[in-house]
Amino acid sequence: MVSSAKTIVISGYYGFRNSGDEAVLKSILTALEEEGKAAGIRIEPVVLSIDPEWTAATYGVSAVHRMKLGEVRRAIAASDGLISGGGSLLQDVTSPKTIPYYLGVIKLAQWAGKPTFIYAQGVGPVNRRLFYPAIRSVLRKCTYISVRDTQSGELLQSMGIAPDVIQVVPDPVMGLPLPEALHQRAGDELPVIGISVRFWDAQRRELNAIAEGLKALLRQRPVHLRFLPFHRPDDEEASRYITERLGDITTYGGKISYYVEEQQPQDMLAEVSRCDVVLGMRLHSLIYAANQSIPLIGISYDPKIDHFLKRLDSAPVGRSEALDPEDLKRLLISMLDHAESWKSEHEAQIGRLKQEAQLPARHIAQYLGTEGE
């Protein structure tokens, strides 16, 4: 029986329609609802979003504009705490403004006397060491810290955060459920390879190599190449860059399609579940595949790809600057031919990751449930 309501502000990269980050939010909201009920409380989230109207309509929660300081401060003042995460928030690769923004939001909550929780974040890379003291100062005052891989924890330790306060957990999306209504496989006559790519290398070396590897595969067997743009329109453009280099694959009996109908994160999760193999650059394309026990192949452009694959005792087939098309072709064939073996080998690992993905929400719900007792 739910005995009380607690309001929690959630800070992250939300409202930008990036499928992976929206899946993180959906996963956090779902886990908080479940763990709140178990703790006897009703957790009422308020999400900081670049598009609060869209976020509120999509998830059925309250939302305020992440860049309007007055709204953010009022939301925090009226709350019972703040969650920062998940995703890669404390990194300076995408912009030097990212770390100051997310630390600033946490600091606002700490100034207001609110408990602050770091939720399964991927920390780093932090190339500007001048950020280290600020990260150390803010995180030492956090009530709870969880990171999504051991490397993030080690980076925080190098900044001066005690190891015993850092909990290593899986990415929240590992715990995202797929409603039964969405779990329907289409009757495709060809093996389906889900492909998630992005622009990264300025010379397009990885995209050119992917195109060569896929063409080599098609010469040996017909497949359905199903492109899954996680961040539109950029990822859709990267996908079309590859297909332009494939030419007319109908001569090989192959097929190309694009999934662009996504309305909410579980739509993409359902689409991934219908694939036979997933080839991904985007981290969450690989996490979605693992979530649904779909054999996966990662191409690394960032350490976070390597870190996730390591949790499955796997390694990337190549890197953005060094990908061998022949290696890619061979691994795709192996995955297609031995899919059931892959699923059997990784069943226990995936089950454990799904259970552990709930841990941050459980800790937060239990803290909120006992606060004031």
d(CA 255, CA 226): 8
* 3-state SS, residue 197: coil
* Amino acid 183: pLDDT: 67
4-169+357-370: CATH number: 3.40.50.2000
| CA 119 – CA 143 distance, rounded (Å) | 11
Structure confidence at residue 186 (pLDDT)? 61
Q: Is residue 222 classed exposed, middle or buried when 0-12, 13-18 and 19+ CB atoms within 10 A define those classes?
A: middle
C-alpha gyration radius of the chain:
21
Name the DSSP letter for residue 229. Answer: -
Domain ranges of the chain: 4-169+357-370, 180-353
pLDDT at 149: 92
In DSSP terms, which residues pair with 49 in a beta bridge? 65
Q: Which of 262, 268, 304, 313 is nearest to 283 (CA)?
A: 304
In 3D space, the residue among 175, 134, 174, 172 whose CA is nearest the CA of residue 156 turns out to be 134
Q: How many CB atoms lie within 10 A of CB 17?
A: 15
Q: What string of DSSP letters covers 26-49? A: HHHHHHHHHHHHHHTEEEEEEEEE
Contacts of 296 (CB under 8 A, 6+ apart): 277, 278, 279, 280, 286, 289, 290, 312, 314
Return the CATH class of domain 180-353.
alpha beta
pLDDT at 232: 87
Q: pLDDT tens across 340-365, in order?
A: 999 999 999 999 999 999 999 999 99
- Among 58, 48, 137, 127, smallest CA distance to 87 is for 48
**Mean pLDDT, the chain cut into blocks of 10 residues (373 residues total):** 84 93 96 96 98 97 98 98 95 95 98 98 95 98 96 97 97 91 72 97 96 97 96 94 95 94 89 96 96 97 93 95 97 97 96 96 96 59
Per-residue pLDDT at 262: 86
Helices assigned H by DSSP within the chain: 19-39, 52-59, 69-77, 98-111, 132-139, 150-159, 205-220, 234-246, 265-273, 283-291, 303-311, 325-337, 339-356, 359-370
